[in-house]
């Protein structure tokens, strides 16, 4: 169970760290056999592994001393603030020191990473704390036993290579920003503490049922978990379940609750206590459901006026600060969005927290992108792990309504067709209060455009990526879309086209702003009339780095943004804004 940190007090060890590349992957300890046969007195020192703190003395590792590395800011993406690291994919060693007096009193200390891309191994004072794979979700290790009085040394080995058996796999249409991309924190807790909790809401017969589960970190919990929601006058105890789990349902008349919705994003403080541990969060109470082609919030149909976005800032890679996040929400609000697709991997937790406050609904996804090695059991395990780490991080965020399990995977691949339904089930096991989706393809048949993907029956909402007017066909070809006979709601998870900001010409001239704007006109006019289309998130809010895009208009960027990487708006921004603000979708 993921250690829920968002609502806890933490001590950050961000700031300037030392970092040094290790392209030949040498410094996890030298090859002892080779050196043992050589009768060389001073070679001993080279046997020392770089993560051993003694290596900080002058005589050690004369050619390679992490404490004499490059000074880098953490968090940051490799190569964004150290030009020598530009384009580098491989091992990188990082080190940081902190004094024990920084840590608040507590029985246990955990070292928590917001996200490190891609494989990570961590040592504290020479003791290995653990390893992690996956570049976008948080993880933590218990550090209590390795802590020392006075100075403590954290060493982190980051492997930013892309892997065929990774998630994502080697080839993507986005840049592989390696490094410690999100913050690193020390978290102190009592010996027994609340590891995580989940709040779900259902509405029935005039009552709002608030279902709360909590997981305590204790071998045999000795006291009940209590819950308070002060603004609703709630004060109750949860029932002990098996082992460390507790749960309970609080029923409140609907008239007494301000439900969370995009137009009124009301948050309540929910406070849980167990023995000496208290943890609280601001949580929105709302129900999400589907009905006859519609997505509903608190029973009310809503058209998802969205846009997709990557997590990226020019010159900073994936390391966003609070102001970058605010800027994103300003753009979303300016467009008239009530929804956004956070593609193609989990974005920083802060995005969902701000979305909760702003009333922007979210699609969140794991990087099961294109050709994942679905048949490999280790990959399946990694897949579940990434789903679990994301879901357990954000399951108290009212803004998140859709968990996406995959993007543009091959519907003709039998293994994929066996594995993805299992992943959909796994998501529901973890969280059955949200909708499961995936971005799929559409098929052009004599009867029109249809969804012909065996995964459909396993999804609550089907996402369709279609590029009529750009890669093929005409921009308004979606008029030929045939409603799904089973009534599954459909969202257009991607559509759009490229334009270079400031490049103007005729509307039939590719790469001009006019060409892109015309695609948006055609697409929006087709989609607004379709019954089962419950919303859209065109591709994409801003241009992003993509090594596979190298023509003269692109030069390493995917140019399908409505805004360029410097924040300059293209004509298509106005077209989508007019569509979303026209009131035609209400």
Q: Strand 179-180 vs strand 127-133: parallel, antiparallel, or unpaired?
A: unpaired
- Identity of the residue, 198 or 560, whose beta carbon is nearer to ligand GCB in the bound complex: 560
Cβ at position 363, least distance to ligand GCB in Å? 13
Cβ at position 458, least distance to ligand GCB in Å? 20
Check if the beta carbon of residue 53 is closer than 8 Å to that of residue 76: no
Cβ at position 397, least distance to ligand GCB in Å? 24
What is the residue whose two structure tokens read 């002058």? 58
> Contact between 523 and ligand GCB (CB under 6 A)?
no
Residue 79 to residue 70: CA distance in whole angstroms? 12
Cβ at position 402, least distance to ligand GCB in Å? 16
Choice from 139, 246, 539, 573 touching ligand GCB (CB under 6 A): 539
Check if the beta carbon of residue 392 is closer than 8 Å to that of residue 423: no
Check if the beta carbon of residue 201 is closer than 8 Å to that of residue 397: no
Cβ at position 472, least distance to ligand GCB in Å? 12
Cβ at position 579, least distance to ligand GCB in Å? 20
* 385 phi and psi angles, rounded to 5 deg: -60, -45
* 305 phi and psi angles, rounded to 5 deg: -90, 95
Question: For the chain, how many residues are written?
Answer: 586
- Identity of the residue, 344 or 388, whose beta carbon is nearer to ligand GCB in the bound complex: 344
| Binders of ligand GCB in range 458-487 (CB under 6 A) | 465
- Identity of the residue, 465 or 507, whose beta carbon is nearer to ligand GCB in the bound complex: 465
Residue 264 to residue 266: CA distance in whole angstroms? 6
Q: How many CB atoms lie within 10 A of CB 529?
A: 11
Choice from 76, 338, 392, 407 touching ligand GCB (CB under 6 A): 407
Nearest to 142 by CA among 113, 115, 190, 109: 109
- Identity of the residue, 521 or 560, whose beta carbon is nearer to ligand GCB in the bound complex: 560
Check if the beta carbon of residue 246 is closer than 8 Å to that of residue 224: yes
Residue 172 to residue 548: CA distance in whole angstroms? 8
- Identity of the residue, 91 or 363, whose beta carbon is nearer to ligand GCB in the bound complex: 363
DSSP secondary structure of 151-214: EEEEEEEEE----TTSSS-S--SS----EE-S-EEEEEE-SSEEEEEEEEEEEETTEEEEEEEE
> Contact between 494 and ligand GCB (CB under 6 A)?
yes
Q: At what angle do helices 377-394 and 414-430 cross, to 10 degrees?
A: 30
> Contact between 558 and ligand GCB (CB under 6 A)?
yes
- Identity of the residue, 344 or 458, whose beta carbon is nearer to ligand GCB in the bound complex: 344
> Contact between 60 and ligand GCB (CB under 6 A)?
no
Choice from 521, 560, 569, 570 touching ligand GCB (CB under 6 A): 560
Contact characters 277-316, ligand GCB, x per CB under 6 A: ----------------------------------------
Residues touching ligand GCB, count (CB under 6 A): 9
The enclosing H or E element of 422 equals helix 414-430
> Contact between 408 and ligand GCB (CB under 6 A)?
yes
Residue 194 to residue 130: CA distance in whole angstroms? 22
Cβ at position 161, least distance to ligand GCB in Å? 20
Structure tokens at 290: 């589907």
Cβ at position 145, least distance to ligand GCB in Å? 43
Choice from 173, 211, 376, 444 touching ligand GCB (CB under 6 A): 173
- Identity of the residue, 385 or 554, whose beta carbon is nearer to ligand GCB in the bound complex: 554
| Binders of ligand GCB in range 344-383 (CB under 6 A) | 344
- Identity of the residue, 398 or 562, whose beta carbon is nearer to ligand GCB in the bound complex: 562
- Identity of the residue, 130 or 547, whose beta carbon is nearer to ligand GCB in the bound complex: 547
Cβ at position 159, least distance to ligand GCB in Å? 24
Cβ at position 521, least distance to ligand GCB in Å? 19
What is the residue whose two structure tokens read 């066909």? 473
Residue nearest to ligand GCB (CB): 173
Strand ranges inside 385-498, DSSP E: 400-407, 435-440, 443-445, 448-450, 461-465, 490-494
* 332 phi and psi angles, rounded to 5 deg: -60, -45
Structure tokens at 172: 């993507």
The enclosing H or E element of 340 equals strand 339-342
Cβ at position 407, least distance to ligand GCB in Å? 5
Cβ at position 540, least distance to ligand GCB in Å? 7
> Contact between 444 and ligand GCB (CB under 6 A)?
no
Cβ at position 212, least distance to ligand GCB in Å? 36
Cβ at position 449, least distance to ligand GCB in Å? 16
What is the residue whose two structure tokens read 């569509």? 579
> Contact between 338 and ligand GCB (CB under 6 A)?
no
Nearest to 560 by CA among 538, 586, 582: 538
| b/e per residue 200-225 (b: at least 16 CB within 10 A) | bbebeeeebbbebbbbbbbeebeebb
> Contact between 133 and ligand GCB (CB under 6 A)?
no
- Identity of the residue, 266 or 370, whose beta carbon is nearer to ligand GCB in the bound complex: 370
Nearest to 431 by CA among 405, 407, 469, 463: 405
- Identity of the residue, 173 or 258, whose beta carbon is nearer to ligand GCB in the bound complex: 173
Q: Which residues bind to ligand GCB, rule: CB under 6 A?
A: 173, 344, 407-408, 465, 494, 539, 558, 560
């Amino acid at each position: 169970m993921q250690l829920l940190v968002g609502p806890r007090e933490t001590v950050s060890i961000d700031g300037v760290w030392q970092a040094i590349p290790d392209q030949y992957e040498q410094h996890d300890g030298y090859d002892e056999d080779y050196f043992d046969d050589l009768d060389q007195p001073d070679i001993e020192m080279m046997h020392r592994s770089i993560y051993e703190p003694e290596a900080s003395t002058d005589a050690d590792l004369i050619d390679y001393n992490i404490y004499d590395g490059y000074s880098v800011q953490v968090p940051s993406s490799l190569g964004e603030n150290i030009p020598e690291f530009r384009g580098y994919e491989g091992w990188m060693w990082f080190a940081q020191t902190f004094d024990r007096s920084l840590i608040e009193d507590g029985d246990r200390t955990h070292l928590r990473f917001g996200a490190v891309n891609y494989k990570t191994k961590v040592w504290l004072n020479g003791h290995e704390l653990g390893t992690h794979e996956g570049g976008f979700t948080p993880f933590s290790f218990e550090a209590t036993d390795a802590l020392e009085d006075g100075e403590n040394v954290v060493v982190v080995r980051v492997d930013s290579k892309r892997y065929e058996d990774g998630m994502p796999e080697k080839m993507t249409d986005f840049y592989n920003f390696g490094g410690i991309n999100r913050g690193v924190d020390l978290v102190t807790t009592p010996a027994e503490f609340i590891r995580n909790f989940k709040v779900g809401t259902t509405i029935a017969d005039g009552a709002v049922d608030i279902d709360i589960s909590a997981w305590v970190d204790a071998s045999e919990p000795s006291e009940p978990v209590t819950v308070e929601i002060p603004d609703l006058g709630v004060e109750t105890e949860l029932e002990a379940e098996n082992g460390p789990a507790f749960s309970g349902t609080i029923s409140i008349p609907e008239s007494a609750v301000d439900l969370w919705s995009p137009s009124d994003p009301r948050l309540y403080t929910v406070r849980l206590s167990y023995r000496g541990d208290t943890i609280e969060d601001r949580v929105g109470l709302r129900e999400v459901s589907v009905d006859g082609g519609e997505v509903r919030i608190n029973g009310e149909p809503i058209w998802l006026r969205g846009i997709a976005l990557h997590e990226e800032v020019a010159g900073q890679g994936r390391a966003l600060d609070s102001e970058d996040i605010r800027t994103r929400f300003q753009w979303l609000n300016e467009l008239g969005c009530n929804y956004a697709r956070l593609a193609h991997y989990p974005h920083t937790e802060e995005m969902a927290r701000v979305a909760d406050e702003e009333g922007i609904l979210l699609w969140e996804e794991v990087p099961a992108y294109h050709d994942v090695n679905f048949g490999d059991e280790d990959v399946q395990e990694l897949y579940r792990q990434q789903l679990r780490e994301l879901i357990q991080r954000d399951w108290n965020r009212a803004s998140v309504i859709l968990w996406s399990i995959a993007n543009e995977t091959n519907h003709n691949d039998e293994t994929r067709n066996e594995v993805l339904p299992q992943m959909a089930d796994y998501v529901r096991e973890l969280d059955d209060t949200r909708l499961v989706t995936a971005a799929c393809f559409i098929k052009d048949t004599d009867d029109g455009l249809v969804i012909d993907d065996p995964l459909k029956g396993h999804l609550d909402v089907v996402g369709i990526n279609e590029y009529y007017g750009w890669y093929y066909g005409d921009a308004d070809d979606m008029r030929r879309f045939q409603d799904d006979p089973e009534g599954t709601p459909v969202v257009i998870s991607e559509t759009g086209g490229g334009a270079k900001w400031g490049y103007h010409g005729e509307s039939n001239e590719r790469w001009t702003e006019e060409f892109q704007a015309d695609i948006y006109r055609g697409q929006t006019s087709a989609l607004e009339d379709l019954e089962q289309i419950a919303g859209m998130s065109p591709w994409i809010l801003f241009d992003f780095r993509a090594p596979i895009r190298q023509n003269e208009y692109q030069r390493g960027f995917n140019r399908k943004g409505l805004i360029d990487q410097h924040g300059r708006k293209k004509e298509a921004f106005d077209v989508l804004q007019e569509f979303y603000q026209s009131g035609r979708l209400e």
